[in-house]
Chain A
Amino acid sequence: MKSLINRVKAFWLLSLITVSFCVCVVAQEPQATPPPAGPPRTVQFPKPVEKTLSNGLRVVVVQRSEMPLVTARLLIKSGGEVDPNDLAGVADMTAALLTRGTTTRSATQVAEQIEALGGFINSSAGWDSSTISVDVLSARIQPAMEIFADVVRNPAFKEEEINRLRSQYLNNLKVSLGQPGAIARFAAARVIYRDAPYGHPLSGTPESLPRIKREDIAGIHSSFYRPDNAILVIGGDMTPENGFALAQKYFGDWQKPTTELPKMSIATPVSDAGNRRVLVIDMPDAGQAAVLAARTAIKRTSPDYFRGIVTNAVLSGYSGRLNWEIRVKRGLSYGAGSILDARRWAGAFAATAQTKNESGAEVAALTLQEVSKMAQESVAETELKPRKASLIGGFARSLETNNGLVGQVASLALYGLSLDEINKFVANVEAVKPDEIKSFAAANLNTDSTSLVVVGDAKKFLPALQKQFSQVEVIPVAQLDLNSASLRRAVSKN
């Protein structure tokens, strides 16, 4: 070890000479300005085609054959939003259990058979849908589809598998609850949605998971897993004819129940100044503070959707305002950004960064200040043009892989939007004007009604935060309760 240090030092001395040498060379004749771009080529994305089977299953095929890969994804149009209040996590457990054994295949057989094909199969619930996805070499799609259809249609939900999955979820939750960023996300959902759906953790709480019984899981499956509540999207190296034939073969005889599909209508709370909270979760051993500003936002089907995502693109991304102010200008974080998560019912807007505990209050102030500016001043065209380009580029890159392509198409199908929106994305983004951004922000991102959650070592940032906000709630992490809007464990009566 000693000899290494000496050797490296010696090289450093030598390299001093190189510095001046390099400078001389550079002094030759570098071109001082970047060469301009050539003429652009236009982009074309694949066109999805669709068909509905007689049992009501909507099938979408999107062909792209450069690589011998296929992704098949089945969406059930119900997700964590249907979790009963005391059974947080039941929709996600139901989805995850599909691959943990069917009436004819054990959990291990499902994994072995799919993986022997070089494929993988995943299932989980989101807020508005539950998803089962298989990814496989196109030459092996037939045997993969057989397993795929089996797990969707014939899950066994064995007690043994339920208990095993429950303890896995409890262990995972323990790990998540050791991370300030994850705690901030869980707490912020309760702050903005309170006791309404979307307020609970999707994969349950330490208290809800033990309450979930087999009949709850089987109930979710029989109520919502039915062809008239499902969409099958097949993407990649697959012609539409073959895709439709596969769908017919493996899902054509999937019976639609005679019962009515349960109708859901959820009134999510609206963030206003009256219910705004500034909440600190004190985690004395946190290695960093997680700062999160959050509020309810728009539905995915809102006419304001494109105004919303362009507004968010001005704030977020590497050169977005949040990262620019917090990381690039001040070195306060490894990354700051925001998300506009539009859902079936009112979604969420969240701006977030992690920073050293000492700068928690400063980052909170900067975050809210940048969000609030969006409603005060119009964005200059010179700033807006590159932010739109960045948003469009990110969308185009998301379509580069089969998985990404299927994901975008599935999302449009889920919300009942035109599948052709893929090819209108560029025009829709370009059409958004600076004054529309300002009015969108004024109506939807008012910081007086935006809540703030900071998770970290409170003694290092609380005094500074209390100077900015008159009312700051503090909850020690040991008393955090994710089951109710108060977020505070009930104190015993005496």
Chain B
Amino acid sequence: MRRVFLMTVCASLVVAWVAIGAVAQTKMPQMTFRERTLANGLRVLSVVDKSSPSVAINVWYHVGSKDDPDQRSGFAHLFEHIMFKSTRNMKAEMMDRLTEDVGGNNNAFTEDDVTVYYETIPSNYLETLLWAEAERLASLTVDESNFVSERAVVQEEFRQSVQAPPYGKFFYALQQKSFNSHPYKRPTIGSIEDLQAATVENVQKFHSTYYRPDNATLIVVGDFDPKQLDAWVDKYFGPIAKPNLPLPRVGVKEAARTGEKRFTEYGSNVPLPAVGITYLVPSEKSEDAPALNMADIILSQGRSSRLYQSLVYQQVVAQSANANADLKEDAGLFYVTAIVAAGKKPEEAESALLAEVKKLQDTPVAAAELEKAKNQIIASQLRQRETNLGKSQALGDAAVLLGDPNRVNTELEKLQAVTAADVQRVARKYFTAENRYIFTYLAESTRSSSATNQSAGESKQPKGQSK
């Protein structure tokens, strides 16, 4: 559904992080983009592709849930919903009139570090949508009744993504408890109570603080004339002033972990137990990022991956098993998770996950397995770039999150250069006992009996504590 909140533990997202380039057998088409920056600081990236009469527009704001105000977890994402309400010259839901009603669509997503708004429209509506995006950057307005109604929608989104699905609370806790000081510890969706406390005044402050041209990147991909695009961008975005105040930035550094911690979480609706291990890893800009992404693919991409083969296929200790290098701007988490197969114990799945992690540390990945992982990356990048929207989002990832749009074309070279020794090195460096938090997720009905259980015994308080 639209105005989506992106769950952190999402395998498809992993693929979005690794990028593009050229390899020997199949040449990745290079993305030829133009870049300009307006006097007010707005960065504009564009790619012409006339293969269909449509165009994708993205506006990336460098603000995410890590910037949620104090006591307002979930606010950046709630704010994203409000951006579809009124502006000085647009009534609420007019964005839908300008897109959906002419055969286009729109949506947005909020992550820890960024908030991204996008539209796909027939190309003859490009000017109209540039006007509309400039409108909501420059002059968002919001009234109480629209605000209250949309806040209720986001609370339903919380229920639908966290409370109703069997493992919603598990993945929520994994992120919440894996960071100690960095605001990444606040899951993007927030909490019902903090959302309830949000006000119209918070919206206005948030807009003026973060929604400014020098904190935004406009991306246009598809069927347009570059000169015409420049003129329209100058006309609609040029007059928006750059505020004369510094942009607040999160400066908190997550301290290195100093020892294993264990958490036991309980849910009322847990069909099968689950286990998860998180390792604190560096930023996506780090030199170690490509090797961590490669470790993720080797562990979890496809039915030939190590976790599937070992936990799901051979040992049958897991209903499903996954890894995810969730690398963010300031720090990252490397997850390995499993939903425990019926009749098996969480301890068995945990040992099996740890054994696979140890294998990465002890033995270099075979050449053929590494080659397979590299081919999987190229193919998934090509698939992402089949659409204008996919291309625009690959460009946004490179420009805003990796800090350089050229990385849309150079990142895959780095991935292709990853060696078996690199994978082994990062596995030894980060996948250590001191750097791991281990989570077990059990049915509420087992709580009393598990009090006598060794690993769960000391951590059954609702908040979950370290051992």
Task: Give the residues in chain A near B165, CB-CB below 8 Å.
Answer: 178-179, 287
Assembly CA distance A361 to B150 (angstroms): 21
Known contacts A40-B122, A389-B102: does B166 contact A26 (CB below 8 Å)? no
Query: Are B100 and A319 touching (Cβ within 8 A)?
Result: yes
What 0/1 pattern do residues 312 to 340 of A give for CB contact below 8 A with B? 00000111000000011111111100000
A257 at the interface (CB under 8 A from B): no
- The interface-forming segment of B241-249, B285-293, B404-412 is B241-249
What 0/1 pattern do residues 443 to 478 of A give for CB contact below 8 A with B? 000000000000000000000000000000000000
B451 at the interface (CB under 8 A from A): no
- Specify the chain A residue showing the minimal Cβ separation from B4: A334
Task: Give the residues in chain B near A393, CB-CB below 8 Å.
Answer: 100, 102-105, 122
- Residue in A67, A112, A174, A286 whose beta carbon sits within 8 Å of that of B271 in the complex: A174
Assembly CA distance A356 to B155 (angstroms): 9
Assembly CA distance A440 to B197 (angstroms): 46
6 more A-B residue pairs beyond the given contacts A178-B165, A285-B269, with a C-beta to C-beta distance below 8 A? A22-B207, A108-B309, A171-B342, A175-B272, A287-B162, A287-B165
Query: Are B103 and A390 touching (Cβ within 8 A)?
Result: yes
Assembly CA distance A119 to B378 (angstroms): 10
B417 at the interface (CB under 8 A from A): no
Assembly CA distance A7 to B166 (angstroms): 37
- Residue in B52, B104, B153, B248 whose beta carbon sits within 8 Å of that of A333 in the complex: B153
- Residue in B164, B313, B341 whose beta carbon sits within 8 Å of that of A180 in the complex: B164
B25 at the interface (CB under 8 A from A): yes
B53 at the interface (CB under 8 A from A): yes
A267 at the interface (CB under 8 A from B): no
Query: Are B89 and A15 touching (Cβ within 8 A)?
Result: no
Q: Which of A17-51 contact B (CB under 8 A)?
A: 17-19, 21-22, 25-26, 28-43
B177 at the interface (CB under 8 A from A): no
Query: Are B382 and A69 touching (Cβ within 8 A)?
Result: yes
A-B residue pairs in contact (CB < 8 Å), sample of 20? A15-B248, A21-B244, A26-B138, A31-B89, A34-B90, A34-B128, A37-B102, A37-B124, A40-B53, A67-B29, A115-B302, A139-B25, A167-B316, A171-B341, A179-B164, A288-B164, A318-B96, A356-B159, A386-B101, A396-B54
Rounded to whole Å, the gap between the CB of A176 and the closest CB of chain B is 8
Task: Give the residues in chain A near B155, CB-CB below 8 Å.
Answer: 356
Rounded to whole Å, the gap between the CB of A456 and the closest CB of chain B is 9
Assembly CA distance A118 to B123 (angstroms): 33
A308 at the interface (CB under 8 A from B): no
Query: Are B243 and A116 touching (Cβ within 8 A)?
Result: no
Query: Are A34 and B309 touching (Cβ within 8 A)?
Result: no
What 0/1 pattern do residues 237 to 261 of B give for CB contact below 8 A with A? 0011101110010111000000000
Task: Give the residues in chain B near A120, CB-CB below 8 Å.
Answer: 302
Q: Number of contacting residues on B, CB 8 A?
A: 106
Query: Are A389 and B101 touching (Cβ within 8 A)?
Result: yes
Rounded to whole Å, the gap between the CB of A445 and the closest CB of chain B is 23
Task: Give the residues in chain B near A168, CB-CB below 8 Å.
Answer: 312, 319
What 0/1 pattern do residues 359 to 392 of A give for CB contact below 8 A with B? 0000000000000000000000000011001101
Query: Are B102 and A285 touching (Cβ within 8 A)?
Result: no
Assembly CA distance A68 to B23 (angstroms): 13
Give the number of residue pairs across the A-B interface with Cβ within 8 Å: 281
Rounded to whole Å, the gap between the CB of A11 and the closest CB of chain B is 4
Query: Are A179 and B166 touching (Cβ within 8 A)?
Result: yes
B385 at the interface (CB under 8 A from A): yes
Task: Give the residues in chain B near A317, CB-CB below 8 Å.
Answer: 100
A203 at the interface (CB under 8 A from B): no
Task: Give the residues in chain A near B163, CB-CB below 8 Å.
Answer: 287-288
- Residue in B180, B319, B368 whose beta carbon sits within 8 Å of that of A175 in the complex: B319
Task: Give the residues in chain A near B124, CB-CB below 8 Å.
Answer: 37-41
Query: Are B51 and A66 touching (Cβ within 8 A)?
Result: yes
Q: Which of B339-382 contact A (CB under 8 A)?
A: 339, 341-342, 368, 371-372, 375-376, 378-379, 382
- The interface-forming segment of A72-80, A220-228, A294-302, A397-405 is A397-405
Task: Give the residues in chain A near B379, CB-CB below 8 Å.
Answer: 69, 118-119, 135-137
Query: Are A28 and B123 touching (Cβ within 8 A)?
Result: no
Task: Give the residues in chain B near A389, CB-CB below 8 Å.
Answer: 100-103
- Specify the chain A residue showing the minimal Cβ separation from B301: A115
Known contacts A107-B313, A116-B372, A175-B166: does B181 contact A11 (CB below 8 Å)? no
Assembly CA distance A318 to B342 (angstroms): 39
Query: Are A137 and B382 touching (Cβ within 8 A)?
Result: yes
A181 at the interface (CB under 8 A from B): yes
Task: Give the residues in chain A near B90, CB-CB below 8 Å.
Answer: 34
Task: Give the residues in chain A near B316, CB-CB below 8 Å.
Answer: 164, 167
Rounded to whole Å, the gap between the CB of A84 and the closest CB of chain B is 26
Rounded to whole Å, the gap between the CB of A459 and the closest CB of chain B is 15
Known contacts A177-B271, A394-B105: does B1 contact A26 (CB below 8 Å)? no
B430 at the interface (CB under 8 A from A): no
Query: Are B304 and A112 touching (Cβ within 8 A)?
Result: yes
Query: Are A22 and B243 touching (Cβ within 8 A)?
Result: yes
Across the A-B interface, the 4 shortest Cβ-Cβ residue pairs: A287-B163, A393-B103, A331-B152, A386-B101
A14 at the interface (CB under 8 A from B): yes
Query: Are B375 and A117 touching (Cβ within 8 A)?
Result: yes
B329 at the interface (CB under 8 A from A): no
What 0/1 pattern do residues 150 to 161 of B give for CB contact below 8 A with A? 111101110110
Task: Give the residues in chain B near A112, CB-CB below 8 Å.
Answer: 304, 372
Q: Which of B112-164 contact A (CB under 8 A)?
A: 120, 122-128, 131-132, 135, 138-139, 148-153, 155-157, 159-160, 162-164
Query: Are B53 and A30 touching (Cβ within 8 A)?
Result: no
Rounded to whole Å, the gap between the CB of A221 and the closest CB of chain B is 21
Rounded to whole Å, the gap between the CB of B155 and the closest CB of chain A is 8
B463 at the interface (CB under 8 A from A): no
Rounded to whole Å, the gap between the CB of B132 and the closest CB of chain A is 6
- Residue in A4, A107, A319 whose beta carbon sits within 8 Å of that of B181 in the complex: A4
A170 at the interface (CB under 8 A from B): yes
Assembly CA distance A17 to B180 (angstroms): 32
Query: Are A8 and B69 touching (Cβ within 8 A)?
Result: yes
Query: Are A331 and B372 touching (Cβ within 8 A)?
Result: no
- Specify the chain B residue showing the minimal Cβ separation from A2: B181
Assembly CA distance A178 to B301 (angstroms): 26
- Specify the chain A residue showing the minimal Cβ separation from B121: A393
Query: Are B164 and A18 touching (Cβ within 8 A)?
Result: no
Q: Which of B11-61 contact A (CB under 8 A)?
A: 25-27, 29, 51-54
- Specify the chain A residue showing the minimal Cβ separation from B308: A111
B467 at the interface (CB under 8 A from A): no
Known contacts A174-B271, A175-B272: does B156 contact A329 (CB below 8 Å)? no
B383 at the interface (CB under 8 A from A): yes
Task: Give the residues in chain A near B301, CB-CB below 8 Å.
Answer: 115
Query: Are B160 and A178 touching (Cβ within 8 A)?
Result: no
Query: Are B128 and A37 touching (Cβ within 8 A)?
Result: yes
Query: Are A7 and B251 touching (Cβ within 8 A)?
Result: yes
Assembly CA distance A14 to B247 (angstroms): 10
Assembly CA distance A164 to B315 (angstroms): 10
B429 at the interface (CB under 8 A from A): no
Rounded to whole Å, the gap between the CB of B212 and the closest CB of chain A is 8
Query: Are A18 and B243 touching (Cβ within 8 A)?
Result: yes
Assembly CA distance A8 to B244 (angstroms): 19
B435 at the interface (CB under 8 A from A): no
Assembly CA distance A332 to B156 (angstroms): 7
- Residue in A34, A135, A327 whose beta carbon sits within 8 Å of that of B98 in the complex: A34
Q: Which of B270-314 contact A (CB under 8 A)?
A: 270-272, 301-305, 309, 312-313
B168 at the interface (CB under 8 A from A): yes
Query: Are A18 and B223 touching (Cβ within 8 A)?
Result: no
Query: Are A22 and B160 touching (Cβ within 8 A)?
Result: no
Rounded to whole Å, the gap between the CB of A289 and the closest CB of chain B is 9
Rounded to whole Å, the gap between the CB of B179 and the closest CB of chain A is 10
- Residue in B162, B319, B372 whose beta carbon sits within 8 Å of that of A172 in the complex: B319
Rounded to whole Å, the gap between the CB of A166 and the closest CB of chain B is 11
Assembly CA distance A167 to B340 (angstroms): 12
Task: Give the residues in chain B near A400, CB-CB below 8 Å.
Answer: 52, 386-387
A427 at the interface (CB under 8 A from B): no
Task: Give the residues in chain B near A333, CB-CB below 8 Å.
Answer: 153, 156, 160
